[in-house]
A and B are shown apart, each in its own frame.
Chain A
Amino acid sequence: MNASPEAVKGSHRSGGATLFALSARSVTKRFPGVLANDDVDFDLAAGEVHTLLGENGAGKSTLASVLCGLYRPDQGAVLRNGTQVRLSSPRHGLQHGIAMVHQHFRLVDRFSVAENVVLGDKRLSFFIDQDSINDRVSRIAEEFGLPIDPLAVVGELSAGQRQRVEIIKALYQGAEILLLDEPTALLAPPEVEKLFETVRTMAKAGKSVVFVSHKLGEVVDISDRITVMRDGKVTGSVGRGEADTRKLAELMVGREIDLSPRKAKAPAGGTMLKLHNVSLHRDGVAVVDNVSLEVRAGEIVGVAGVSGNGQRDLAELVAGLQSPTGGVITVDGREMNGAGTREMRANGLAYVPEDRLGTGLSPSLSIIDNMVLTRPRGLLVDRKAAGAEAERYITELEIKTPSPHTATRKLSGGNSQKVLLAREIFAQSDTTKVLVVCSPTRGLDVGAVETVHKVLDEARTKGKAVLLISEDLDEVLTLADKILVLYRGAVVHSADSNALDIEKVGLAMAGIS
């Protein structure tokens, strides 16, 4: 199954002569029901940028957590400079110069940058000398080209700047090895570029960096070496220059995957969903700011943007969960201002929320019961018909479940998303005209992503108007016929997919126009 088995296992150990800064030897880690790491070997040389590549659930974050001391391996060992270390906690890992920057930052919003950096430093004197900590933080920041004001309040910083604070914190604590868990997930493209510069500076200064990522495209340039994981195992490891995206993708997924762009094959029809100057103010701030857009039958309009720029509120406005403070929302020619979700649905709008288990599905109800949920209300429920329907979707969408009576919370992310899509798109396919879909593939593996994209493409072919709101730019680029960029609640850029300047989209996502 592996591309080249002999090149795989040995990683870049050349006869055992080199001493690695950090290694994992035959690490196995189990969680209830999951074998997260299965006999994994990993080697990190000093001054190296090493990417751990794999899909969600491939075990790369688990391996990183073992390496930094957050998890203890069930079997196997962690070696620091060739000697075995038993790390009992991240704090202990830090004493060995190993630090991890988590995807979700561990910062105190109300503290200044400097206070965040020194928090937990036991060497600090009892009384804190603000000037001296500010100086120390500034010095580290300058040394590694991480410009930041030590007095700035962290809660007011952008995601990229916060990440910088985390990195400075790790360096302040004496980290020689930095593990960055999905560091680009929350960043706009220009910020990613800045992060890469920082990583290069650190590597030059002799620090080692482990990049944990599932984004194949962006890691090739930055990495000295890429180790690929799948299903808890290492499937391959390639050095700089040997990396070839096609081969890496195959190592990641284990089969060929079709993620090529899907675009409308027929011209779009009439306008089904229209937003005219729609705004939403909360606490005096415009969280959705004068948004106008149109979605026609048979097209997908994609809304791109970095997380937290009003996507969620926009979706909830269209779905009728919130009422706009200004502007007009029209569905199929009817003004829907102030209409609740029920009227929206009655008028042909289906909604696939970002939070699929909780908002989208009822976790403790079975697949069948979830199917029934959005039916037109009557006194009695026709479970039999719903059961047959559920069975059909289970086969059609390859939903992996013991039975249609299984509670949806027991399904994997991909399978519960398929259940939700089945209900929203197919169950009332004759009456649904507009489909609002939010981050439909977040957290899904590549195989499920492929299915979800296929389903959305089919919905478009059948003449639905699809509004796709996603933080995954690649997804928007793959599916959408028209692309809008949302920044601080406003549409700052819009383009047709066939006349698209990717660089402009990236800059717009960062708020630079």
Chain B
Amino acid sequence: MNSNIWLITFADAISIATPLILASLGAMLTERSGVINLGVEGYLLMGAVTAFQLGMGFGNVWLSVFAPILVGVVMALVHGALVISLRANQIVSGLAMVIFGTGLSQFLGKSVEGERRPVSIEPIDFGRLSDIPFIGPVIFGHDPLTYFTWALTIVASLYLNRTRPGLVLRATGDAPATVDAQGVSVTAVRYIHTVVGGALMAFAGSWFMLARGTAWSQESTTNGIGWIALALVVFAAWRPLRAILGAVLFGFTLQVPFTLQAQQINVVAPEMVKMLPYLATLFVLVALSTPRARRLLGAPKMLGIPFVRDER
């Protein structure tokens, strides 16, 4: 009984890590190109409400998986137009997207508040593999999105570290002028990764509706996971593979209080866990805006700084 509940906690931690990983991969790709996108929470909510409402309307699970990606692309294009083309303040634009995403998703979700989810993605049945002690229930038995996310992380890591466009991406965040001098468009690199990043963030949002939650609820759908994802980017030092580790750790932290509560052990009040996203927000803002912290953490050097070609 007792060990069982801990197994569930582990499994849940790995499960909740999925949107965390996806969202922080998105933020990572964006930030590696030198663009900060603090709007993650807004993208998650918009992705979630899109998946839910389309599910209500059409009942097609594939539509609910892929449509949120388009929503993310559109939101990221707006962010890109503001901060890359018009060189607006990236922090402000990002925060505006959070407010916008929260408000719009609230509006769009009003009619379905409390409704049961219309479509879902079911866990994969691994058959006998699930019977392996500990590993079975913890590693196997998740939904396909989770395994897709793991694969995607490995792909992202290879892309970043082993490929030519990955090299250019890393250089763009660190020294855009150098990239520009090589005849590569900094603007293009930044747009592409901001858009792909935004798509991943909104895609992560759909997970909440398809694999996790059973009903739409504005209040408790994402629970500030977007902010934790941003903290995770810093924690993982902008490296995809480390994000998996960090996400599981964060996931565990999010789950443990509930487990303890179920065991009648009240060490940490669940309210304390609810504070975590806000602490994460503070952490992110301090980490990204103090030059010294940025240097120590290994942030891309030109993160948040618009590129202007140096001409007379």
Q: A89-B183, A91-B182, A120-B179 are in contact. Are A127 and B163 (CB under 8 A)?
A: yes
| A70-109 interface bits toward B, Cβ cutoff 8 Å, 1 = contact, 0 = none | 0000000000000000000111101000000000001111
Given contacts A120-B179, A126-B163, 6 further A-B contacts (CB under 8 A): A31-B312, A108-B171, A119-B179, A120-B168, A120-B183, A128-B163
Q: Are B167 and A109 in contact (CB under 8 A)?
A: no
Q: How far is A124 from B162 in the complex, measured between Cα atoms in Å?
A: 12
Asked whether any CB of chain B lies closer than 8 Å to the CB of A125, the reply is: yes
Interface of A is mostly: loop
Q: Are A107 and B175 in contact (CB under 8 A)?
A: yes
Query: What are 13 pairs between A and B in contact, CB < 8 Å?
Result: A89-B183, A107-B175, A108-B171, A108-B175, A108-B178, A109-B175, A118-B167, A119-B182, A120-B183, A126-B163, A126-B164, A127-B164, A128-B163
Q: Are B181 and A90 in contact (CB under 8 A)?
A: yes
* Size category, B interface: 20 to 34
Give chain A interface residues in 167-226, CB to chain B under 8 Å.
none
- Where the two chains meet, the residues of B that have a C-beta atom closer than 8 Å to any C-beta of A are 162-165, 167-168, 170-171, 174-175, 177-179, 181-184, 292, 301, 312
Q: How far is A115 from B167 in the complex, measured between Cα atoms in Å?
A: 8
In the complex, which of the residues A90, A108, A121 has the most CB atoms of chain B within 10 Å of its own CB atom? A108
Give every chain B residue within 8 A of A126 (Cβ-Cβ): 163-165
Asked whether any CB of chain B lies closer than 8 Å to the CB of A110, the reply is: yes
Asked whether any CB of chain B lies closer than 8 Å to the CB of A393, the reply is: no
Interface of B is mostly: helix
Give every chain A residue within 8 A of B163 (Cβ-Cβ): 126-128
Q: How far is A91 from B179 in the complex, measured between Cα atoms in Å?
A: 11
Residue of B nearest to A105 (CB): B178
Give every chain A residue within 8 A of B171 (Cβ-Cβ): 108, 111, 119
Give every chain A residue within 8 A of B174 (Cβ-Cβ): 108-111
**Chain B proximity of A234: nearest CB distance (Å):** 21
Q: How far is A108 from B179 in the complex, measured between Cα atoms in Å?
A: 9
**Chain A proximity of B205: nearest CB distance (Å):** 31
Q: How far is A191 from B9 in the complex, measured between Cα atoms in Å?
A: 62
**Chain A proximity of B231: nearest CB distance (Å):** 22
Q: A111-B171, A120-B168 are in contact. Are A90 and B183 (CB under 8 A)?
A: yes
Q: A31-B312, A90-B181, A90-B183 are in contact. Are A128 and B175 (CB under 8 A)?
A: no
Q: Name the contact of A106 in the complex, choosing from B168, B170, B181, B292 (C-beta under 8 A).
A: B181
Q: Are A283 and B292 in contact (CB under 8 A)?
A: yes
Q: How far is A31 from B311 in the complex, measured between Cα atoms in Å?
A: 10
Give every chain B residue within 8 A of A31 (Cβ-Cβ): 312
Give every chain A residue within 8 A of B177 (Cβ-Cβ): 106
Give every chain B residue within 8 A of A121 (Cβ-Cβ): 164
Q: Name the contact of B183 in the complex, choosing from A91, A107, A127 (C-beta under 8 A).
A: A91
Give every chain A residue within 8 A of B175 (Cβ-Cβ): 106-109
Give every chain B residue within 8 A of A109 (Cβ-Cβ): 174-175, 301
Give every chain B residue within 8 A of A92 (Cβ-Cβ): 183
**Chain B proximity of A428: nearest CB distance (Å):** 36
Give every chain A residue within 8 A of B167 (Cβ-Cβ): 111, 115, 118-119, 128
